Amino acid sequence: MPKELSIPNDFQKIIKDLLGNESDSFFEALLTPSPPSVRPNPSKNFQLTNTSKIPWTQFGKYLNERPLFTLDPSLHAGAYYVQEPSSMFLEKALTHSVDLKQPLRVLDLCAAPGGKSTHLLSLLHPNSLLVSNETIRTRANILSENIQKWGYANAIVTNNDPTHFSKLNGLFDLIVVDAPCSGEGLFRKDNDTLDKWSPANVNLCAMRQRRILKDIWPALKQDGILIFSTCTYNTQEDEETMEWLSQTGDCEFLNIPIEENWGVVETKLKNTIGYRFYPHKAKGEGFFISVVRKKEPVSPLRMHTRQVLGEKCKNEEVKLWLKDPALFRYVVNKGVITAVPEIHYELITFLSDRLSVIQFGISLATDKHGKLVPEHNAALSIHLNKSNFATIALSREQAISYLRKETIEIDTKEKGFALLIYEENPLGWVNLLPHRMNNLYPSNWRIRMKPD
């Protein structure tokens, strides 16, 4: 094998046991660059050139070269998500296991930074509800930012341990667990992961995964679908964890149709079925995924709560801010007016009473003595009625300055709050005053990289 990477002997043995004569090709692939790829937001404007299609997803595209994403305003507008191509195979798993034309209750358990959650939102029926959860608070804040940028109202972001979902008996039609793992599939682009790898850590990750699956299994309804994935290769964290699940709960494993030229490998262990991506076979990073249908019956959950999400909003003006105002209920909580999807109001209220909810609905505005100060979340929402606001189109240079939270020169006679647009997508708000401009971009979101 090549000598440029210091690969632990124990990991070399894992790969040789899995691949045999192909192992040299695998290790050589670790020395090649990772293929850059993005997944456009189908509800926003984004034009791509010099790309090729990722075959297992209708949205994802390979890029011919890796741009400087941080300095692309379209990324910050939520027009696309930078995502590793193998992980987009989630779409193929979904389309062959659930009816995406029906409203679903979905839990993305280990969701940060948001790749799979934003992908789910692009695929799910608009009357579905996605609970996007992250256990670590700092990562949950990043997740919330990316969900807001994507712009869909039918998602709530939570910050909970898997144990907190154990009592939500049969609530979810679909649960996605992109489990914490030893990260073997990331070795070629993350040397820190390679340096931290050890058999002991593999064992620790496998035990953690099984605890997580045990905790959330009761929350999946009978005949509901669990999609389990890792970015690792070893069977202990992949097939053996799935075999453990088959011994723990009554379930069946589902096949996913694959094409031979994709390079995806179907794997089996006893009753389990999984799909593995190797970098020398498929154009992507290391990845494993398995689809499980739960067969055992679940006691029905009674949803009772005395909690309310906020006082009823009496300001009728704010309803003009959305394209379909009748689809939402408007509440005021801590001075912020939020539009909550009417169809999910009771369920979101119930979940807010039992989980640590960071974000729900669309934060529209803060009511300051009758004056509506727009919230950034509203600017990025796909439900925003842009025709209700003064809008100003920005150049790339102006947009980057805005994202750096700098003062920008705008040639306009408009006064008051205005919506800034970059390539047809809203970026955020400014307040235009007689002799100055207030940049309302969130301080904790601003980019610090200097423009090229």
Enumerate the β-bridge partners of residue 210. Answer: none
**Whether the Cβ atoms of residue 367 and residue 394 lie closer than 8 Å to each other:** no
Active-site position among 110, 181, 205, 231: 231
Whether residue 113 has a cis bond before it, omega within 30° of 0: yes
Handedness of CA 140, 141, 145, 151 (dihedral sign): positive
**Whether the Cβ atoms of residue 452 and residue 67 lie closer than 8 Å to each other:** no
Side chain identity at 147, as an amino acid letter? I
**Whether the Cβ atoms of residue 134 and residue 109 lie closer than 8 Å to each other:** no
3-state secondary structure of 304: coil
Give 322's contacts (C-beta < 8 A, 6+ positions apart): 328, 339, 362, 364, 381, 383, 384, 385
> What six digits make up the tokens of 212?
């997580």
Q: Please give the Cα distance from 129 to 105 (Å, whole number).
A: 5
242 CA to centre of own chain: 23
| CA max distance for the chain | 73
Q: Please give the Cα distance from 452 to 72 (Å, whole number).
A: 11
Angle, CA of 333, 338 and 343, to the nearest 5°? 115
Q: Please give the Cα distance from 144 to 192 (Å, whole number).
A: 26
Query: Which residue in 115, 209, 112 sits closest to 162, CA to CA?
Result: 209
Provide the phi-psi class of 223: left if phi over 0, else alpha when psi is between -120 and 50, else beta: left
Q: Where does 278-353 show beta strands of DSSP type E?
A: 287-294, 311-312, 328-333, 336-341
The bridge status of strand 328-333 relative to strand 336-341 is: antiparallel
Between the alpha carbon of residue 390 and those of residues 27, 305, 418, 425, the distances in Å are: 56, 41, 5, 14
Active site includes 231? yes
Q: Please give the Cα distance from 410 to 302 (Å, whole number).
A: 55
- Residues that are catalytic: 231
